[in-house]
Structures are given as C-alpha cells and as structure tokens.
Structure 1
Amino acid sequence: MIKPLALSLLLPLQQPQASKLTLTKISGTFYLESKVSSTPDSNGSKNINHSANFLSASFILPIIILSIFFSHTWADQPSQPIQIRADNAQSISNLGKMIYRGNVIVEQGSLLLSGDMVTFITLYNSEMSEEGQEQHSDVEAIGKPAFFHQHDSSGRVTVKAEANKLEYFIESGIIRLQGNASIDQAGYIVTGDKIEYSTHMQSIKAKKNPENTNTRVHTVIKPKSSNEDMP
C-alpha cells in the first residue's frame, strides 16, 4: 500500500532572480535542487526532463500538499504562500506546468479556489536577460462548477463565486469566471457568461455571451433584513 506523501517546496521571498527546481529520488530520499538560471547546463536539462517523467508516471498519491512561495509583492498585501492540495499531480516542466486532479483546493491568504482540475502555470519573460528574468504565475481551475471565495480577517466570507472555468492571475489579483458564472459580494449578486473580479479593488465586471443573444448580465441586490434595520 502506498502511504500518503506530503511535500513542501519552498522558494525564498523576494528572489532577485528566477529559479528552477529539480526533484530527484536517490536511495529512497527526495532531493530538491534550486538553480538560479533560465538556461540549464548540460546536466541540468537532463535532470529536469527526468523529473518531469518521474512525476508524470509515479507521482500519483492519495494526498499531495505543495507549498510554493513567490517573489511577488502585492500592492495591498504582502506575498502569501500558495498551498495546493489534490489527489494527484503531474509535472510538465518544459511547459512550466503542474496539473492537479481530484478535489483540488488552492489557498493563498484569504483566497480559496477549488475545482476538479487545476493547472498551475509558471512563465518567464524571455525578452529579458537570464539574470533579469521575471517569474509570472497563473492558476486555472475547471469544475462542475469550480468555486472561489474570499474571507476577511475574522474569517467571514465576503465574496463567493462559481463558474465552469476559473482563472486566477496572481500578479494582478484578477479572478476571471467563464461559463455559467456567478458572484456574490455581500449580498450583491451578479450572473453572466463572463465575470472578472479584482481582489485588490474588490470590483466586479460582467459581460454577456456575444454569440448568444438570450444571455444577459443579471444583478440581484438583497435588501437588509428587518432585524438589521431594528435598533
């Protein structure tokens, strides 16, 4: 019987350079190597490809906990670690992707995303020099539906949303909902084919499907209850 395995991969905050990780197994022990370079050496490329094959073929485990620290600093809050929990994971190193399947939960600070399948994408700015390359990461969740919610410091949920497809652009803090999308912001409910929510500005933009004239943006504003109006 395969025992559950928990991995915690950590990258230092505020990295001056982009880094690549190589995970290898030697004599039953996992080793993690971090290289601050966008172009692997002659051995590095081989190691990265081997890591991708190993994860694709054998990294199917009951529980996987992956914690990744980013160098991004948001304008309205400090960098937060992203934690991803799923039934299994697959690495595609040459495309900068990690694919998670099975009751996937993604958490970052006050944000939580969930879906049947989540793709974590990391890209590097190829137009810059190796030393100056910047890391750009996005999260894509697909479900029936995929969910998102955000809570305040007291733990109270202030925003909750769902859609067939949910994209989280980490650097800009934008949540994009597509397909049967709906969002509830403290009783202000919006439904539409496409919705964008800014976690920084706490603003909502909604659009109808231009190919379907029967779909329109629908908004519901809940009145305060009588109990709330009473002194």
Structure 2
Amino acid sequence: MKFAKTKALVLATGFSLLSGLAHALPSDSSQPINIQADSAELDDKRGIAIYRGDVVITQGTLKITGDTVTITMNNDGDIDVFTSEGKPAYYEQLPSPDKEIVQAYGLTIQYFANTDKIIIIDQAKVIQQGNTFRGEKIVYDTNLEIVTAGRGKQGTITTPTPRVNMVIQPKNKDSKAE
C-alpha cells in the first residue's frame, strides 16, 4: 500500500512541476500532462522527485526529455528547480502562436520555476526563430525571450569551447533589396 501512495505522490509532483513550466503558451497549462520514465522515486523529507530512464514530459507544446529528471521542491511544497540530464537533455516549447518552437539542448538543463529561466550547461545550444546560440553555458529567460551565452564553470564542462558561436538570421529574410 505504501508503494501506491508514493507512486501517486511522485506523479502529483510531476504534475505540479509542469503547471509552472507552461507560461509561454497560455493553453499549455490547461492541457493534460504526460510523464514517461522507466522508474520514479520521491523523497518527501528532502522534497525531491527523481525520474530515470528515457524520461519524456509533455504538456501542450512543452516537451522535456532526459536520461534523469530531478524535481526539487521548496519548503512550501512548490517547485523550485527542475533539472534534466541527458546526452543531450532537451527542452522545447512554443512561446506564442505566431512564433516558432524554441528548442534547447545540453548535457544539463535547469529550469528555475520562480524566475522562468532555463540554464543549459555543457554543449549548450538554443534555437530561437532560426537563430542558433552555442556555448558552454546559456541562460534563457522564457518570458522575455532573452538568450545570454558564455563560459561554464571550469572543471564542469566535458567539451570546453572558449568562444560563443551565434548564427543570427536577417530580420527580413524574404525581402529583396531595392
């Protein structure tokens, strides 16, 4: 009986997480949440839920994948930090109906629910409206759609890349010069 209760709590924790993630497209938060993983565990005392094994989380246009996904709760029981680790971990979401899906890749992706920021660490890459940002570490503000790329903490990066690489598309790709 204790296993069934723990399983229900793990699933409820995942559902709470996703309601906080879906700020980009208003209809996302009203969509059903689907969490798939090979295993799940919840540590109530520490406020941590861990999903392992080809984890896929979806809700509306939101999709998060990783080998391991850890959800950390604050003292009030609200989602504090969501961490996806993989080779690579992946995040995507449609910011609004008139824009393209934002995609993020990295060995670690952290989502901070209180600030709506995503930090992509190690082999970080963000694709936003045809623009590509690559670096050791990328901070992406999902509300303001601002990307900041730079160096990661020395010793934590598996593939050091001392320079940021960005490809910015022209604003009027289809316009011809007069």
Shorter-chain TM-score range: 0.7 to 0.9
Q: 2:62 aligns with which of 111, 120, 125?
A: 111
Distance (Å, rounded) in 2 between the aligned partners of 1:78 and 1:201: 18
Shift of 1:219: 0.9
1:180-191 superposed matches below 5 A: 180-191=123-134
Distance 1:202 1:85, change over 3 A: same
TM-score (norm 1): 0.58
Distance 1:117 1:179, change over 3 A: same
For 1:215, the equivalent position in structure 2 comes to 162
Amino acid at match of 1:115: G
- Contact preservation (8 Å) 1:98, 1:121: yes
Shift of 1:222: 3.0
Unaligned runs of 5+ in 1: 1-22, 33-50, 125-132
- Contact preservation (8 Å) 2:121, 2:136: yes
- Contact preservation (8 Å) 1:69, 1:80: no
Task: Please identify the structure whose Cα radius of gyration is greater.
Answer: 1
Paired residue secondary structure (2:35) = strand
Q: RCO higher in 1 or 2 (8 Å CA, sep ≥ 6)? A: 2
- Contact preservation (8 Å) 2:21, 2:116: no
Distance (Å, rounded) in 2 between the aligned partners of 1:74 and 1:113: 12
Aligned identity (percent) is 27
TM-score (norm 2): 0.74
Paired residue secondary structure (2:45) = helix
Q: Does 1:173 align with 2:101?
A: no
Unaligned runs of 5+ in 2: none
Distance (Å, rounded) in 1 between the aligned partners of 2:68 and 2:100: 23
Q: 1:84 aligns with which of 20, 32, 35?
A: 35
CA RMSD of aligned residues (A): 3.7
Paired residue secondary structure (2:49) = strand
Shift of 1:99: 0.8
- Contact preservation (8 Å) 1:165, 1:179: yes
